[in-house]
A and B are shown apart, each in its own frame.
Chain A
Amino acid sequence: MTRYKRKDPEITRRKFINAAMGGTVAVGGISLLSTLGTANPVFRLTRDKMPPLKGDVLVHAEESKEGQIIKVSELSDQLVRAWPMGKGEDGSNVIRKGDPNNILALFRFPKGQLVAPTNLEATVDGEIVAYSDVCTHAGCSVADSDQGDGMKCPCHSGQFDPKRGCIVTGGPPPRALAQLPVQLDGEQLVVSDFFLAMPYPYIAESEWESFKKEVEEQLA
């Protein structure tokens, strides 16, 4: 029986069709997958997406005052949100809010209250300090705590202490908020360097370092 069956042309034809269909599905599937590449557009690092850079002026982020330069007198132990504002390619002012992770938190504490691990060199007179305002946990914008001291993330109640380098004092965030070195230039608060540590959304120092390089190369 089997001997005859093997010679049966019906079977070979079926086999052929199966193989042909399988081949078509495989080739077609792969070529369809390749179109998925278009799903991921190229990232262009424009100036408004660059992180806070040396020389950027800090301006208000709050909607009613957006773009106005922040005065020292406006700062207190209550959080003030700021954007870095730099120069565009044509020399005009560019607020770097193309990347929402550039949002900053500014505080001013009476002298002596800011302590390590805050980098005091990177503050103004040990009084004014700037941090990334993006929670290292899932990237929410951190606010003043509703229970007195410090900052609290509204998403999963992460807590930070802005007087001690914004270390985590409660909740799930894995890292402190990154401190941004600032200095006073006349009336303006000016960024004096990159963030001192990697900010959200970076998860490896190496990535943050290579991103900084990329930014510097593009500016050079």
Chain B
Amino acid sequence: MFQSPPNVAKTIQITFEEKTYQVAPAQTVAAALMGEGHLMLRKSLVSGETRAAFCMMGICFDCLLEIDGQPNQQSCMIQVREGMNIQRQLKKGECA
């Protein structure tokens, strides 16, 4: 769905759902995951339908992920950090 640019230095290692990825720094978690082909980020609170980042500016709260053990993090607002561990929130009602 989105194509990462060629020739960027991917200097940061993150783990998403137990798999590791090398990604470029100075970008948000949601962007990094989209660059790796992960569009679907979570299931919705009520019906459990799949959701993905929608606004990329902290408005919609559709990009919530568990980051380093903390649930409900707005992944479009948080920059990737070396060694970050990221999990999807797949259970219904898991959101704040």
> Is chain B a partner of chain A in the same complex?
no
